Amino acid sequence: GDRITSCVCCNRASPASFTWKNSFENKTSTMVNVPKERKTYCAGKCKKHAVHKVTQYKAGKASNFAQGKRRYDSKQMGFGGQTKPIFHKKAKTTRKVVLRLECKKCKTKKHLCLKRTKHFELGVKAAASGHQY
């Protein structure tokens, strides 16, 4: 069967086939398909399980009058070039998906965070394999 080795950090037994790379690949899904409706607990007025409409969360337009933006703009004014670092070294190939659930009865909204994934689909029907007739 499987050869057992001990873990480097805590001396617990782990199968020989285990590697950190494999463990990371298992945690990140290649394709996630979520239905457009979902029955889950509503913490609003309902206080029970109800049907929720599922959409993907998207951040809103950044305001020009937020404190950080005002501070950044005033620091950039005048001579002296770029004053704060601009991030270029993008390393991640996956994104964390956030779902926005809206109760169909009381319209209460809540967010639900999913694990990292490369591809995300909302309510796509799986194509039937094989012959169609």
- 40-87 pLDDT tens trace: 999 999 999 999 999 999 999 999 999 999 999 999 999 999 999 999
Amino acid at 98: V
- 83-132 pLDDT tens trace: 999 999 999 999 999 999 999 999 999 999 999 999 999 988 877 777 87
